[in-house]
Structure 1
Amino acid sequence: MTGQNGVTDSEHFSPYRADGKLYGFVCIVTGATQPVGKAIVAELAAHGAACIYACSSSPNEAHAQVADADSITTQYPNTKVIGYPYNMTSEEDTLALIDDVLNSWGRLDVWTSSTGLLGPRSITQTGPKDLYAAFDTNALPAFFALKYAPAAMAKTSTQKGSYPNAAPKTTPYGSIIVVTSVAATYGGCWAPAFTMASHAALGVVRSGVLVLKGTGVRINAITAGQIDVGLDLEDCGGEYMARGQFPPASVQAGEAQKRTIGLERAGRPEEVARVAGFLASGFSSYMTGAELRVDGGAGVMNPVTVPV
């Protein structure tokens, strides 16, 4: 069927829409209980995604409240947000999640792996179990996405569903987005376990380009710098803080941020999410294997060393 300007429905709802909308897209966001994950869910909804699986970091979290689904649905009523209990380090849970998505929607288009574990703040506090946990949390979910999401993203359908923001999918395509830290590109950020595991997450992206060759699926990384995720060194214990995705912005005083960050402040979760929205959409159609650094220019001026 041909619409205005001779554009067919298939072309109109392709991933290369000129307006960057994600109509018809079914998305997965892991780590949606973290501030950045929550912001990504809201951003994909703003782009018009049909459905977003907002996955908890573990099955024990209150997944029904993940990503403020009610408020997002109120603001974007045509996007369905599903809070999903998920063990991000489980291969079985990953396969079950994909089966659920395909059985319910018949397609998968975007997978955002937004997970992270800071772990101990120094090497003297770090043991083998801490190192394994860092790799499991920071890199393994991205690996599972690379291994299993492309086959689901290859599923196509010429039929337009009956749900809001529905659209046909006539060609295989997809976007895998790995959100990690600037610790993936240099040392001196937090502690060795976090730095090593962040490097591994970026390695998934770089190795993924060849793995995905010919599939129509792209994979890119966001490496974030100082992001204000609402944690304060005085108000939370070290053990709680170590479970966070990024070092608290408060580890650097305002004066230090002005001196070492080009934009003179810490970033906000929604500023990371906007880059994820770009990578999910057709605006980034010729990008794969890229690392988009969201750090306010700190890494260009002088890599920030976070005091421990």
Structure 2
Amino acid sequence: MASTAGSSSFSPYRVDGKLYGFVCVVTGASQPVGKAVVSELAAHGAACIYACTSSPTDEPIDDLTESLKTEHPNTKVIPYPYNTTSEEATLVLIDDILNQWGRLDIWVSSTGLLGPPSITSTSPKDLYAAFETNAMPAFFALKYAPAAMQKTTPKGNYANAAPKDMSYGSIIIVSSVAGTYGGCWGPAFTMSSHAALGVVRSGVAVLKGTGVRINAITAGQIDVGVDLKGAGIKEMEQGQFPPSSLQSEEVQKRAIGLERAGRPGEVGKVAGFLASGFSSYITGAEIRVDGGASVMNPLTVPV
């Protein structure tokens, strides 16, 4: 089903890629990549974005909300405290969205826990924590978001409103190239990233007949603004991606096709593509955002 920008009957497959009427969830929204995804969805014209964070008050997300209010006044960004590893919290969030908007269209799961850098420093508790943070949110998205995404609704009276007259949705799992290769940071990170990618691959058959797509973004070296001079191993273990400064500029030029680390906004743009009708025939895919590093040689991050 195709539509034009001026069509009165809304279809997700807009020729301009806009997300008018879309209600979105983005987890990890206070982190650099999550913030970039929120900004990109707003730029695509989403009606509402639930910017989910793990704490009730979060200064970075407050700053983002204020800036987007100016840049994209017709997109409502709602800061939302949400425990991504909780089944109950996931169901509550979806209920809140449906009660408020009557629809759900996009779910971006952007979570990450590096964990210890070596097997000797990895305990069973560390491994459980990595799976809980890196894979369980993807599982909850696959299990619970599609039923909400299949609901249709008439056009509302809010900004950027549009009717939803057919079932569709897009689940986007932001993970790491560690889901494909070993040697990227530590074993727990690699194992749990593989599990997140497994959710995407198993999700294609699960979602047959629903109109909902599921895809993964696997990122390589992304400059998330971590200054190694002020951070120790313990602080780095809490991050979503290994700090790009673990690789010197010389190593980046040698090992990465584009000769530099990526930027959070470059991951965000891929999320915008997967959310929009531009990717209408893409599901079960793993889109690598790594500057070509994994093609040149398996990505390794020294520790």
Q: Does 1:305 align with 2:297?
A: no
* Contact 1:115/1:138, CA 8 A, preserved across alignment: yes
Residues 4 and 272 of structure 1: CA distance in aligned 2, closer, same or farther (over 3 Å): closer
Asked if the contact 1:38/1:66 (under 8 Å) is kept, the reply is no
Corresponding residue number in structure 1 for 2:14: 17
**Deviating 4+ runs (over 6 angstroms):** none
Structure 2 unaligned blocks of 5 or more? none
2:52 corresponding residue in structure 1: 55
CA distance in 1, matches of 2:37, 2:257: 24
Asked if the contact 1:28/1:52 (under 8 Å) is kept, the reply is yes
Counterparts in 2 of 1:1-308, with a 5 A limit? 8-10=7-9, 13-56=10-53, 58-60=54-56, 62=58, 65-66=61-62, 68-157=64-153, 159-308=154-303
The RMSD of aligned alpha carbons is 1.5
SS in 2 for 1:9: coil
- SS across alignment from 2:91: helix
TM-score by length of 1: 0.95
Q: Is the 8 A contact 1:23 1:166 kept in 2?
A: yes
- Return the alpha-carbon distance in structure 1 between the equivalents of residues 12 and 102 of structure 2: 17
Q: Which TM-score applies when normalising by structure 2?
A: 0.97
| C-alpha contact 1:39 1:67 (8 A) present in aligned 2 | no
Write the distance in 1 (CA, Å) between the matches of 2:4 and 2:82: 43
Q: For the Cα contact (< 8 Å) 1:38–1:67, is it kept in 2?
A: no
1:270-300: CA deviation from partner (whole Å, max 9, x where unpaired): 0000000000000000000000000000000
Instruction: Note the C-alpha offset of 1:193.
Output: 0.2
Q: Structure 1 pair 9/63, CA: closer, same or farther in 2 (3 Å)?
A: farther
Q: Distance in 1 between matches of 2:189 and 2:99?
A: 36
SS of residue in 2 equivalent to 1:53: strand
| 1:37–1:67 CA contact under 8 A, matched in 2 | no
CA–CA distance in structure 2, aligned partners of residues 123 and 4 of structure 1 = 54
Deviations 1:223-280 (A, max 9, x none): 0000000002211122121111000000000000000000000000000000000000
2:112/2:240 contact within 8 Å kept: yes
Aligned AA (2:231): C
